[in-house]
Amino acid sequence: MFAMKIVVFTGAGVSAESGLGTFRDADGLWEKYRIEDVCTHEAWLRNPQLCVDFYNARRRDTLAAQPNAAHLAITRLQKAFPDTEIITQNIDDLHERAGSTHITHLHGEITKLRSDINETATVPLQGWEQHYGDRHPDGSLLRPYIVFFGENVPYFPVACQIASQADLMIVVGTSLNVYPAASLLEYVPRTAKIYVIDPGLPDFGIYRDRVTHIREKASVGVPQLVEQLINKFVNL
């Protein structure tokens, strides 16, 4: 089996094809809700019930969604190249339900709750509904396990370390506009190949000479690339 460190960096465009609403598109969630009302720590302090209701709805949508062809292809990639890791901006569990492992969630996980005083003290939530007022074993209020705007991204250093080890990087479903996650490419070795799967025409900036652009949506482009990589490096 060919030894290659592959890092897959996924964003909202992957989950969108499973029917989950994105935040930044023209008809996205931020067109319907103000960030300041549901996705900042100040919002949580000001109106925690609204935040709980907002993420309960997101969680219900997540549990009703199913992994799509992109998620399944990434799982196939991991089986062919065991040293493959996933870094995701998505808060859903579709990678997990597709059978993938070694997943670093940068922005939290919708299926978990966290302590209000410890950003990494999490507990699983059964079902879709959080009840405001429930408490963590440390005594603090439980809140959605989401990295709110303006908060520290606790697993970003872990993601940087993973990216720094890549022989090949696949970027799919992200606009590369959300920082600090967008700066992950800065940590990818210059010798590493970078593939970006995006149906549009992103501005690759200083990376344009290193990027191979596959102009397809995730559910088409990811299976195509995975098939190519397996045929090139595994089916020798």
> Mind telling me the catalytic residues?
107
Q: Where are the alpha helices (DSSP H) in the chain?
A: 12-16, 35-38, 41-46, 48-64, 69-80, 94-97, 156-163, 218-233
Calpha distance 50→60 (Å, rounded):
15
What amino acid occupies position 98? A
Backbone angles phi, psi at 173, to 5 degrees: 80, 15
75: left (phi over 0), alpha (psi -120 to 50) or beta: alpha
C-alpha separations of 129 from 85, 116, 117, 120, 214 in Å:
30, 18, 21, 21, 39
